[in-house]
Structure 1
Amino acid sequence: QDPLEPMENSDFSAQLAQFSSLEQLQNINASVQEGVEVDLVLTQAINNSLSATVIGKIARGYGDSLSIADGEVQSKVNFKLNGPADELEVNIKDSTGTIVRTLSAKGLGTGEHALEWDGKDNDGKSLSDGNYTFELKATDASGNAVSSQSFVEGYVDSVRYDSGMAKLLINGKEIAFSAILELRESRG
């Protein structure tokens, strides 16, 4: 306050009420933020404790990885088309990003599909054990792109924790526990 021009009592009371309201809003904001952080920690703790129980199970999640182990391809090329595809091209790449094999299919409908890969390159030679990725290019009858989503499916070999987050090792690739869509028992 300016001592030469004192404030009216009602103006002073209004300013005090505004300061009090502001302080209460800041306290509410801090409480909400703490609640969100606690929820995140609890979610991570639940995921981390559950993740160890999935070792040996078959998991399906978002991803584009394939692997060859002991000369055998460990999973199929799994994907979902969001519309019918007249033509589909699947480029399989090695760890350097080089296309080693191209698979193709025609006349696929909307929905989930799986293609077999024999683990060979475009020249028919068996590829070495290791990790590979795949990329989808689907087009409809008019040549327009059809959107798709790739999946990875395989046995959960191990669980690794990174910055408090569980990551599953599936087909030689780490997949975040939060990216898993389905878990099921092995039938073999």
Structure 2
Amino acid sequence: MDSGLVTSSTSTAGTTGTSTTIKKELDKDAFLQLLVAQLQNQDPTQAQDPNQMVQQMTSFSALEQAQNTNTLLKAMQVQNQTMLQTQAVGLVGKMVEATTSQFDLSSGSSSMKLNLDSQADVKILIKDAKGNTVATLDKGNMTSGSHSVNWDGKDATGKALPDGTYTASVSAKNASGADVTSTLSTKVKVDSVFFNDGAAYIVAGGKQIALSDVTQIYA
């Protein structure tokens, strides 16, 4: 008996106007039908090997368990996504701290938080919306940990720059000249939240920040 695996098949009877489509995936119902057909069409002089029967039934059990597991995981995914959305909506109107390279300059004042993995010589480059470097903050040698960084909103010539959103990048080197891992964060007020491809984002002052980048929530 030919017991080759059938993956997919589609047939259409143009004269009768009917069509039949066989599933591409072999689910548990199709598995049982295939097993019954195999038993019904076996050669009476060469009965089905009991060992093969056990192997096939074991495969069927594993298939059913895998399908049940997939169903459960999908249900958990939907539940987790709903919980995430509920938590994200609750942030609207609150102050949060988020990891981001963007920060706001308002009335000649701005502040960021710099975190260093180890002691380093630090310089912070400030860029405007067009990507031009407008100022460089030479912070000198700084210890590991968190530090508050303030900027007076003036460019390299001492000219006050207009309020708006700026971008900062950090150059941190240890005594050997190797790069030291650093992150910048800022405190913002959440104006709204939105969701895209299962991920949540907050909107603060026109900036979009992934919810996963929020490191602290203030009451």
Within 5 Å, which residues of 2 pair with 1:2-81? 3-4=42-43, 6-52=46-92, 55=93, 57-69=94-106, 71-73=107-109, 75-81=110-116
Number of residue pairs aligned between Structure 1 and Structure 2: 178
Aligned-pair Cα RMSD in Å: 2.3
Amino acid at match of 2:91: S
* Comparing 129-138 and 176-185, the one that deviates more: 176-185
Q: Distance in 2 between matches of 1:91 and 1:122?
A: 11
Q: Distance in 1 between matches of 2:124 and 2:86?
A: 37
Unaligned stretches of 5+ residues in structure 2: 3-41
Q: TM-score, normalised by structure 1?
A: 0.81
Could you say which structure has the greater relative contact order, defined with CA pairs below 8 angstroms and 6 or more residues apart? 1
Q: 3-state DSSP class of the match of 1:121?
A: coil
User: How has the CA–CA distance of structure 1 residues 7 and 100 changed in structure 2, closer, same or farther, with 3 Å as cutoff?
Assistant: farther
Q: Distance in 1 between matches of 2:182 and 2:84?
A: 29
* Comparing 106-115 and 32-41, the one that deviates more: 32-41
Please point out which of 88, 102, 114 is paired with 2:122: 88
Within 5 Å, which residues of 2 pair with 1:28-177? 28-52=68-92, 55=93, 57-69=94-106, 71-73=107-109, 75-85=110-120, 87-156=121-190, 158-163=191-196, 165-177=199-211
Q: 3-state DSSP class of the match of 1:76?
A: strand
Q: Distance in 1 between matches of 2:67 and 2:203?
A: 42
What is the CA distance between 1:101 and its match in structure 2? 0.6
User: How has the CA–CA distance of structure 1 residues 63 and 79 changed in structure 2, closer, same or farther, with 3 Å as cutoff?
Assistant: same
Q: Distance in 1 between matches of 2:214 and 2:170?
A: 20
Preserved contact between residue 65 and residue 171 of structure 1 (Cα < 8 Å): no
What is the CA distance between 1:94 and its match in structure 2? 1.0
- Residues 130-188 of structure 1 deviation map (CA, whole Å, 9 limit, x = unaligned): 211100011122222211111121333x0131336543333542222232111224xxx
Q: TM-score, normalised by structure 2?
A: 0.71
Q: Percent identity?
A: 24
Q: Distance in 2 between matches of 1:155 and 1:50?
A: 13
- Residues 76-106 of structure 1 deviation map (CA, whole Å, 9 limit, x = unaligned): 1311000011x21100111122111100112
Preserved contact between residue 112 and residue 149 of structure 2 (Cα < 8 Å): yes
* Comparing 161-170 and 15-24, the one that deviates more: 161-170
Amino acid at match of 2:102: S
Q: Distance in 1 between matches of 2:207 and 2:176?
A: 36
Q: 3-state DSSP class of the match of 2:68?
A: helix
Amino acid at match of 2:177: G
